[in-house]
């Protein structure tokens, strides 16, 4: 199975990007899952997951971050951007694009790692988007104190990597061994949230953490035992920003993978557990969703 079509949209500041839509013709009114990727990861990486979701009865849209994949811009000395551009320009255009393609379908925002962070704070700031559900997959608030004994290492990363980006004019992630080529302001915003514990993008007046009470969308959070990129305490910190949202937290043992132990990234190639859990969660507050087979209790550690 391949994506059905590519759709180009333009952000408010003029930059173009393209999403890929995977559609299920047998279920025209099914939910649309909007996939938001991890830092340094292109949308194409999630194609196996998107195909599995379609087989499970969903429509799927995969989107790239500004500067990645099908985005027309690339980070460089003369091409800088940060969270502000994503939250203020890209997300509104992206949601308009999805709704134009699927005007009568409910939307579930499925954010992996950074995708869960930025997707969550955007929806808190824009309750008018009225999405049906929000999934935070191995996604955490990246304040360095959430890493227990590795907090010193994370603090060093959050301080050093933005400095490297300023020195080069962009962040050379391939050479450093973390993420990919990233914009310097993007790394500044990432580092600020890591050291200060707040989502306050450069160029904005708003500290997004303070808007958490505005989000009432049901949240499904997945965390993974031993995940050093998204520890359990960080996942709890992230969904804890949204006290008025109904939260379902699934904390998984690493060896619960279908073929091999889960990691922060390899779950994309063995996603059936997550699709089953999402269907069960969706059905828990929407009776019209078909009932699915329950996952054995010994496979989960529940929050």
**In the predicted model, is pLDDT for residue 297 greater than 70?**
no
**Residue 290 confidence (pLDDT) above 90:** no
What is the four-CA torsion angle of 237, 243, 245, 250, rounded to 10 degrees? 30
pLDDT mean across residues, the chain: 93
Cβ–Cβ < 8 Å for 191, 162: yes
pLDDT at 244 exceeding the cut of 90: yes
Range list of H helices, the chain = 47-55, 83-85, 91-101, 114-125, 151-168, 173-176, 184-196, 232-239, 272-285
Contacts of 54 (CB under 8 A, 6+ apart): 1, 22, 23, 24, 60
Q: Is 185 helix (H, G, I), strand (E, B) or coil?
A: helix
The pLDDT confidence band at residue 116, using thresholds 50, 70 and 90, is: very high
Q: Is the pTM of this model over 0.75?
A: yes
pLDDT score for 2: 62
Cα separation, 275 vs 157, in Å, equals 33
């Amino acid at each position: 199975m391949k994506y059905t079509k590519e759709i180009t949209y333009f952000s408010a500041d003029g930059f173009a990007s393209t999403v890929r839509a995977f559609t299920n013709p047998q279920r025209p009114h099914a939910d649309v899952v909007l996939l938001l990727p991890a830092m340094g990861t292109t949308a194409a990486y999630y194609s196996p997951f998107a195909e599995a979701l379609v087989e499970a009865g969903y429509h799927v849209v995969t989107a790239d971050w500004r500067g990645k994949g099908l985005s027309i811009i690339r980070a460089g000395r003369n091409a800088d951007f940060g969270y502000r551009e994503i939250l203020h320009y890209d997300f509104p255009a992206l949601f308009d694009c999805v709704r134009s393609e699927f005007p009568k379908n409910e939307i579930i925002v499925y954010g992996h790692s950074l995708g869960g962070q930025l997707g969550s704070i955007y929806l808190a700031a824009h309750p008018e988007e009225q999405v049906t559900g929000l999934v935070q997959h191995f996604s955490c608030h990246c304040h360095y104190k959430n890493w227990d004994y590795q907090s010193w290492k994370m603090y060093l990363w959050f301080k050093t990597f933005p400095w490297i980006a300023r020195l080069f004019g962009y962040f050379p992630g391939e050479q450093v061994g973390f993420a990919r080529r990233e914009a310097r302001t993007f790394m500044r915003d990432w580092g600020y949230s890591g050291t200060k514990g707040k989502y306050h993008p450069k160029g904005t007046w708003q500290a997004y953490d303070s808007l958490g009470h505005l989000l009432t969308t049901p949240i499904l959070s997945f965390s993974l035992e031993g995940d050093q990129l998204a520890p359990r305490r960080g996942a709890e910190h992230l969904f804890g920003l949204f006290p008025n949202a109904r939260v379902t937290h699934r904390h998984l043992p690493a060896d619960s993978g279908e073929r091999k132990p889960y990691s922060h990234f390899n779950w994309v190639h063995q996603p059936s557990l997550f699709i089953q859990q999402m269907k069960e969660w969706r059905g828990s507050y929407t009776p019209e969703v078909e009932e699915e087979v329950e996952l054995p209790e010994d496979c989960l550690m529940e929050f």
